[in-house]
Amino acid sequence: MKSIIIVTASTGAGHNQAANSLKERFEERGIYVHIVDMFKATSKGINALISDGYKILATKLPKAYGAFYKSSDRKVINKTIFKNAFLATELRLKWIFNEFQPDLIISTHPFGAPIIGKLKEKGKINIPFVQIVTDFKAHYAYIHEQVDAYIAASNFTADSLTQKGIAPQKVHVYGIPAREAFTQKNYRKFSKDRPFQLLIMGGSMGLIAIEEAVAVLLTFEKKLKLVVVCGNNRDLYDKLQRRYAEQIDSGRLEVLGFVDTVHELMDKSDLIISKPGGLTTTEAIHKSIPMIIPFAIPGQEQENTNFLVENEMAIEVQDMTELHDHIELLIDDVERYQKMVENMTRLAKLYSVDAIIDLCSSLIDSE
């Protein structure tokens, strides 16, 4: 039986979700998959430093995170950072690869490229290596000449890789892997005969931002239905339940905790309000549901936002009080709304997990 190791890390949920989506689809084809969270596998201390450090920087010190992201997006600085910074993780992955002897390695995290690439460069492993770019613009962390194939989220992503020196034949626009439930198409057409339904993915946006968004949207005079998914943010869930009991009872507002039916909620909704993480954005593109982005972390999320806005798939909102005007514009201008839907549908046609699996199988067979 063919076997694959997928390397990920818990800096945001998207990398792990992409890894799990790939594992599920590979195993349907009879290919064994072992997922390794590289920093958890290294040590508790390293994992806390990287995962918790990312969370603190991204949520508490976003400007500092953005400055680091921008300054490290240069070849010389990036190579300096990765020269010895993750030696313990490199040694741990080397042991895991030698122990499991996989036929192929996939990374869904940018740090996989320099760490695994270095192992290949040193001749410590000789295994085909595929890197998934989980954002819409490739940071220099993704760049390593030892990567055999890149999976990109768009032609824009592909261009950002080739501009950094990656050979075009190595780059494949097959999309960020999403669960199969999101790839099932649903024809989307807005109707003024029913309430305009907004899906608010609130768990990662924070309590204050969501409270403000809900307060603004409940003043909307036109027919509007709000569905807020709080995820594991229990404080947000409890506060909304208490504060808006009347609106919940009337059916105008629905507040949910953690759910595994986001794909169904997207099908039922007309618009999603969310942060622009790579995977959430990919899921929205699959479902052709236009986005409103009220908050993006400086760095990859802001670059994702720029891509979505420039390609008319999303609207960026700088101030929550602007939500009212933007939503009213989309309700009144059906042609603009449908154009956003069509732009997302067109991009989604490029996405294929089956194509990723076929590419990986061909790399294994060519060895």
Helix or strand run (H / E) with residue 3? strand 3-8
Chain region(s) in the chain for CATH 3.40.50.2000: 3-178+351-365, 182-348
Model confidence pLDDT, tens digit, residues 166-192: 999 999 999 999 999 998 877 767 666
Contact (CB, 8 A) for 14 and 277: yes
- Provide the residue type at 358 as one letter: D
Q: pLDDT, tens digit, for every residue of 101-133?
A: 999 999 999 999 999 999 999 999 999 999 999
AA identity, residue 252 = R
Smallest CA-to-CA distance from 96 within 179, 40, 167 is with: 40
Average pLDDT on 212-236 reads 86
**Average pLDDT score, the chain:** 90
Q: What is the pLDDT confidence band of residue 359, given thresholds at 50, 70 and 90?
A: very high
The backbone torsions φ and ψ at residue 205, rounded to the nearest 5 degrees and listed phi first, read -90, -15
Mean pLDDT of 86-109: 95
How large is the average pLDDT for residues 92-97?
A: 96
74-78 contact pairs (CB < 8 A, 24+): 74/140, 75/140, 75/143, 75/164, 77/140, 78/114, 78/140, 78/141, 78/143
> pLDDT digits over 273-308, tens only?
998 989 999 999 999 999 999 888 889 999 999 999
- pLDDT single digits (tens) 37-81: 999 999 988 888 888 888 788 778 888 888 888 888 888 777 777
Query: From 3.40.50.2000, 2.10.260.10, 3.40.50.1820, 3.40.50.300, which CATH number describes the 182-348 domain?
Result: 3.40.50.2000
Closest Cα partner for 284 from 263, 298, 301, 305?
263
| Dist CA 322 CA 212 (whole Å) | 11
Share of the chain above pLDDT 90, in %: 63
| pLDDT confidence of residue 206 | 59
Fold held by 3-178+351-365: Rossmann fold (3.40.50)
Confidence (pLDDT) at 267: 93
pLDDT at 232 over 60: yes
Q: What pLDDT is stored for residue 320 in this prediction? A: 83
What is the mean pLDDT of the segment spanning 220-236? 86
Rounded average pLDDT over 4-27: 92
Q: Half-sphere exposure (CA, 13 Å, Cβ side) for 216?
A: 19
What's the farthest any 2 CA atoms get from each other in the chain? 65
Q: Is the pLDDT of residue 35 over 90?
A: yes
Instruction: Rank 21-25, 204-208, 218-222 by mean pLDDT and report only the highest.
Output: 21-25
Q: Which of 160-174, 207-221, 297-311, 325-339 shows the lowest mean pLDDT across its residues?
A: 207-221
Q: Which pLDDT score, from 0 to 100, does residue 140 have? A: 94
What pTM, to 2 d.p., does this model score?
Answer: 0.92
Angle, CA 284 vertex, CA 283 and CA 285 arms, to 5°: 90
